[in-house]
Amino acid sequence: MSVSVDLKGSGISFKLLKEFEVEIKKAHQKLFDKTGEGSDFLGWVDWPIRYDKQEFERIISASEKIRQKSQVFLVVGIGGSYLGSKAALEAIKGNFHNQMNKDTPDIFFVGNNISSRYLKDILEIIKDKEICVNVISKSGTTTEPAVAFRIIKKMMEEKYGREESARRIFATTDKSKGALLELAKKENYETFVIGDDIGGRFSVITPVGLLPMSVAGIDIREFMHGAASGYEKYKTPNIDINPCFKYVAFRNIMYSKGKKIEILANYEPSLSNFSEWWKQLFGESEGKDHKGIYPSSVNFTSDLHSMGQYIQDGERHIFETVIRIAGHNPEIIMPEDENNLDGLNYLSGKSLADINEKALEGTFLAHVEGGVPNCIISVETLDSYTLGNLMYFFMVSCGTSGYLLGVNPFNQPGVETYKENMFALLGKPGYEELQKKLLS
């Protein structure tokens, strides 16, 4: 039921893998002993087995309430405060979740950009609908969600009045500090907590990810069981048992050979936001001190018709990690056609899933031959349990990889620079000096 890692397309010998195991063990131990840099942000490591069970039940009750009361659920958040739940929603409920016939609300993600076009369009779509809102910000001060939430709060209060609006707004934030917590207390919003020791991009297993998932009808008990079984398996410091070790070895051996771009490939469009979550996880964790693999992604087979040429034939500074869903796809069978004008009768009777699998195999062989080392990460199916397990697999791999690289995977100092410039240019009090410098 867990993740498996196949390195037969990596070109890595068993001997080299074993050589790396020693260093990976040290990095992995820092993670599980909580002794590495940034160890005050390692609360997520054993969270799958020690999460707050009472709060978990409250998440389920709140999501039932939200489902009864609303046709639309707005999730306000950016970065780690929305990417995980968006990825899970799409992976489990599919690309057309909002358009499907269902007994759960449509879900829209706002506050993850500052585009007026984006927000205006969503406000237009939902204007006659019953709405509930989940505003998510660990710091409680991030500009993008705070800006969107001010607009949404006003819209909700005009629509429902202050009291009913407060019953429809749920805040997920820090336990003891931040502007959002203060506001939530003042307005009497039901609140959920992101632990002090869990950073945004590792928070999908907390109320940050769980409340939106539960509203969407995803089985969050199973999701957490998947993460908990991941905890048991991925804490084992042994490359023969722990697939995280193989993945970490693969990407770091590639990096040491000058291959600095990792492409995460999928063959299921419902994984495209999973890749966005993965990119943030690795990009923000590893890209430090002028080091780090650049995480990028492609959706196959679509992108074989856009990026396929480069991957096959462009500069050889890339390597590829493929997510393969082994089975349990909905079955569509290619029909026989009497005239066979499209020449496709050789596919008659085959399922689309089989054809997709052959596309994966064919692409794998082509890319390996073209000099792109490949790693295939397989899961049996994509359900709530497996998704919890897979996300936890990547979180452990990411923390271990970051330590192996010699960076603190749990901070993000580089994100501040754009914010300070933006604040200065917008005239935020306290940024006068920087404003003068930027405008000179």
Q: Which is nearer to ligand PA5, 156 or 181 (CB)?
A: 181
B/e letters for 224-253, b = 16+ CB within 10 Å, e = fewer, are bbbbbbbbebbbeeebeebbbbbbbbbbbb
Closest CA to 40 of 256, 202, 162: 202
Burial of 322 by CB count in 10 Å (0-12 exposed, 13-18 middle, 19+ buried)? buried
Task: State the nearest-atom distance from the C-beta of 65 to ligand PA5, in Å.
Answer: 23
Q: Which is nearer to ligand PA5, 201 or 259 (CB)?
A: 201
Kindly indicate which of the ranges 6-14, 73-81, 348-356, 383-391 contains the residues binding ligand PA5, using the contact rule CB under 6 A.
73-81
Residue ranges in 233-292 that form contacts with ligand PA5 under rule CB under 6 A:
284
Specify whether 419 is catalytic. Answer: yes
* Interface with ligand PA5, residue 295, by CB under 6 A: no
* Interface with ligand PA5, residue 78, by CB under 6 A: yes
**What is the per-residue DSSP string for 1-53?**
---EEE-TTTT--HHHHHHHHHHHHHHHHHHHHT-STTGGGBTTSSHHHH--H
Q: In what order do the strands lie in the sheet with 190-193?
A: 106-110, 72-76, 131-137, 169-173, 190-193
Task: State the nearest-atom distance from the C-beta of 194 to ligand PA5, in Å.
Answer: 7
Task: State the nearest-atom distance from the C-beta of 392 to ligand PA5, in Å.
Answer: 16
Task: State the nearest-atom distance from the C-beta of 288 to ligand PA5, in Å.
Answer: 13
* Interface with ligand PA5, residue 85, by CB under 6 A: no
| CA 28 to mean position of chain CA atoms | 21
Contact 238, 18 (CB under 8 A): no
- Choice among 120, 358, 419, 436 that is catalytic: 419
Specify whether 305 is catalytic. Answer: yes
Task: State the nearest-atom distance from the C-beta of 139 to ligand PA5, in Å.
Answer: 3
- The Cα 151–Cα 133 span in angstroms is 12
- Mapped onto helix, strand or coil, the DSSP state of residue 381 is coil
- Choice among 90, 284, 286, 320 that is catalytic: 284
CA dihedral 167, 170, 175, 177 (to 10 degrees): -90
* Interface with ligand PA5, residue 412, by CB under 6 A: yes
Helix ranges, 70-206 (H): 83-93, 116-126, 143-168, 179-187
Task: State the nearest-atom distance from the C-beta of 172 to ligand PA5, in Å.
Answer: 9
* Interface with ligand PA5, residue 105, by CB under 6 A: no
- Mapped onto helix, strand or coil, the DSSP state of residue 145 is helix
From 10, 104, 112, 137, residue interacting with ligand PA5 (rule: CB under 6 A): 137
Task: State the nearest-atom distance from the C-beta of 281 to ligand PA5, in Å.
Answer: 8
Contact 201, 285 (CB under 8 A): yes
- The Cα 202–Cα 395 span in angstroms is 7
User: Residues binding ligand PA5: what is the number (CB under 6 A)?
Assistant: 14
Closest CA to 95 of 77, 80, 107: 107
Kindly indicate which of the ranges 60-68, 138-146, 329-337, 371-379 contains the residues binding ligand PA5, using the contact rule CB under 6 A.
138-146
Three-state secondary structure string covering 59-103: HHHHHHHHHHHCCEEEEECCHHHCHHHHHHHHHHHCCCHHHCCCC
Could you give the string, one character per residue 182-211, with x where binding to ligand PA5 holds by CB under 6 A and - elsewhere? -----------------xxx----------
From 95, 139, 296, 312, residue interacting with ligand PA5 (rule: CB under 6 A): 139
Could you give the string, one character per residue 12-51, with x where binding to ligand PA5 holds by CB under 6 A and - elsewhere? ----------------------------------------
Contact 192, 137 (CB under 8 A): no
**What is the per-residue DSSP string for 308-347?**
HHHHHHS-S-EEEEEEEE-S-PPP-BPPP-SS-TTS-GGG
Residue nearest to ligand PA5 (CB): 200
Task: State the nearest-atom distance from the C-beta of 163 to ligand PA5, in Å.
Answer: 27
Q: Which is nearer to ligand PA5, 413 or 430 (CB)?
A: 413
Specify whether 28 is catalytic. Answer: no
Q: Which is nearer to ligand PA5, 142 or 252 (CB)?
A: 142
Contacts of 17 (CB under 8 A, 6+ apart): 7, 239, 246, 249
When computed from its CA atoms, the radius of gyration of the chain, rounded to whole angstroms, is 23
Residue ranges in 337-376 that form contacts with ligand PA5 under rule CB under 6 A:
none
Task: State the nearest-atom distance from the C-beta of 206 to ligand PA5, in Å.
Answer: 11
Q: Which is nearer to ligand PA5, 201 or 367 (CB)?
A: 201
Kindly indicate which of the ranges 115-123, 132-140, 291-299, 396-404 contains the residues binding ligand PA5, using the contact rule CB under 6 A.
132-140
Kindly indicate which of the ranges 119-127, 139-147, 294-302, 368-376 contains the residues binding ligand PA5, using the contact rule CB under 6 A.
139-147
* Interface with ligand PA5, residue 80, by CB under 6 A: yes
- The Cα 198–Cα 82 span in angstroms is 15
The binding site for ligand PA5 (CB under 6 A) comprises 78-81, 137-139, 142, 145, 199-201, 284, 412
Q: Would you name the residues annotated as active-site residues?
A: 284, 305, 419
